[in-house]
Amino acid sequence: MTDEEKFQQAYEYAELMHRGQIRKGGKDYITHPLEVANIIKKLNKPIEYQITALFHDLLEDTEATEDKIREIGGEKVLEAVKLLTKEKGYNTKNYLEKIKNNEIALFVKATDRLHNVRSLVEADEKFREKYIKETEEYYLDLHVPEIDIKKALEEIEKRTRD
């Protein structure tokens, strides 16, 4: 199976699992993992990174199974997705520390945060302020050179001030 075929299969599963879910701003939820995957694809990261991006919210937000994630993406993808899945009552600092030990999970989390920051123009002011503060406190030191979260924060603050 080619990487494009793997990506298509992963997309179809993610789309099916997220069907009916809506993001703040009213877009279908699948637009978010797809955009994260596309950013990663443009940065020429391997297919495992792209599939992890498509799947990063599946265990947390859908009825997707670990077996199906493994079947489509493989063991590395499943491991990264499990790390990216927030447990109830999680501690952000501890959550990110675990992610930092897995290159795929770290890259996807940084890209996920980048896309979410860019999407803040669609959120209300209270949520936006909370999200920016959390990003500044926990996410600026993820050390993924290709992903400039600080620049995205500056852009969103400028766009929402104007």
Q: How far apart are CA 48 and CA 26, in angstroms?
A: 29
What is the per-residue pLDDT for 162? 62
Which residue positions in the chain have pLDDT lower than 50? none
Indicate the burial class of 126 (C-beta count within 10 angstroms; 0-12, 13-18, 19 or more). exposed
Beta bridge partners of 28: 22
Domain that holds residue 85: 3-161
Q: Tens of pLDDT along 35-80? A: 999 999 999 999 999 999 999 999 999 999 999 999 999 999 999 9
Could you please report the per-residue DSSP string of 116-135? HHHGGGGS-HHHHHHHHHHI
pTM recorded for the entire structure = 0.94
Q: Which of 31, 26, 24, 23 is nearest to 125 (CA)?
A: 24
Q: Which residues contact 125 (CB under 8 A, 6 or more apart)?
A: 160
What is the per-residue pLDDT for 38? 97
User: What's the structural domain count of the chain?
Assistant: 1
CATH of residue 131: 1.10.3210.10
What is the per-residue pLDDT for 142? 87
What is the per-residue pLDDT for 156? 87
What is the per-residue pLDDT for 26? 86
Q: Which of 8, 3, 12 is nearest to 30 (CA)?
A: 12
Rg (CA), the chain: 15
